[in-house]
Chains A and B, each alone.
Chain A
Amino acid sequence: MAQVSSIEDENAPNLLSTSKSVLLRISRFNPESDDSSKFMEFTVSYEKWTTVLEAILDVKKHHDHSVAVRYSCRQATCGSCGMLINGKPRLACFTKISELDSNVVTVEPMNNFPVIRDLAVKFERLFETHQKIKPYLINENSELESDEREFLQSPKEVEQYIQFANCIKCGLCNSACPTMSTDSSFVGPQALAQAYRYVADSRDKGKDTRLDIIDESHGIWRCHFAGSCSQVCPKGVDPAMGIQFLRGYLLGFRS
């Protein structure tokens, strides 16, 4: 299935035309018809600002429109285009080819997520674990009937959780996590970081409920602080920090 072609050979105008080019290897796999994944190879021209997503979309536009890839915002906000780029989980729209410092760019679907087709993966399990930790404020006074009340917070209180509220649910942390590679039941760094986001919120009263949810054999205790989740997070959420703080509550280091 390996195929080498040059986009510059196409008749269609190529806006990315430049003297630099890179070999883009795209993993192709359809679970309904294929036994294993294969790579298709394309020679792609790029500028220093060209992202991996733009290169993939260029391949779709000029050579093979059947390449399956999920994307939306193109600005690292929607969290749709997570994939393995040269073996590391990254957002394709947030990764410039020039930054990779390689003549070959290999894109594969994220680990630890079932493949729908090619680079698109299923997010059901991530959303399921995210829902499991009750990602909302638990406070009996949170249902306001009029605008006469509000929940005031100091900047210091906001700083306790705002970093973790940046999560875009792209799944890169779950893909990088070594525990998720072998444990299908592990709740995962994304959900655990979100558990901390609400536990640390001064308006929330559901700390004990959430700690009960994650205090199980496939819960927080399966994290071994490898830190890979934090290293791949494109929004600076630092799930490893949140998880250790949560564990601090369970171990009695924090109250």
Chain B
Amino acid sequence: MTKDDNKGGIKGMVNPNRFGIERIAYLLMRLTGLGLLGYFIAHVYETSNILRGRMGWDDFLAMTQTTEGHIFLVLVIGMCVFHTGNGIRIMMGHGGVGVGKPARPDYPYDPASQNYRHKIGIYSSIVLAAVAMMYGMAVMFGE
């Protein structure tokens, strides 16, 4: 980016300040999407270890039974739940569902598309992700 363009760049894109919970949800959606893509690639690599026979498979699977492996899987659970919940909200919004109706705007011009239904959807996704992560921790670390 040159100064001529004056583009916000990556910094402008990921900056969640001053634009409310919807912008934070946008950032989390992108981060969890990238995280899940990374997990998908790692998962394909992991399962390809079955070609090394039972010993190779067991050796690699043992990595997920460590503390670090459990933390990684807890993060994957959180990313997956948030991405799914928020993704359903966004898909519905993309179809024009739940974004309000056009009307003559009145001051202070609160945008109808950023309504309480979407805010509830975002907070619910965050809470669900947290609950799923706690359950995952209870299962993996509670043995």
Residue positions of A touching B, CB distance < 8 A: 29, 31, 35-37, 86-88, 109-115, 121, 159-164, 166, 176, 178-182, 184, 200, 224-228, 230-238, 240-242, 244-245, 247-248, 251, 253-254
Contacts and interface: CB of A to CB of B under 8 A. Distances in A.
A244 B102 contact: no
Contacts of B100: 238, 241
B103 interface: yes
A247 B23 contact: no
B106 A251 contact: no
B10 interface: yes
Given A114-B4, A159-B104, A230-B111, A244 B9 contact: no
B94 interface: yes
B105 A235 contact: yes
A183 to B, nearest CB: 9
A36 B3 contact: yes
A226 B90 CA distance: 9
Most A CB within 10 A of own CB, among B7, B25, B106: B7
B114 interface: yes
14 contacts: A31-B4, A115-B4, A178-B8, A181-B8, A181-B10, A200-B102, A227-B118, A228-B22, A236-B106, A241-B99, A244-B113, A245-B96, A248-B95, A251-B94
Nearest to B8: A181
Given A181-B8, A184-B7, A227 B113 contact: yes
A237 to B, nearest CB: 7
Contact of B9 (A109, A182, A245): A182
A30 B6 CA distance: 12
B95 to A, nearest CB: 4
A124 to B, nearest CB: 12
Interface in B54-104: 90, 93-97, 99-100, 102-104
Interface string B126-140: 000000000000000
Contacts of A86: 18
Given A227-B111, A238-B113, A247 B94 contact: yes
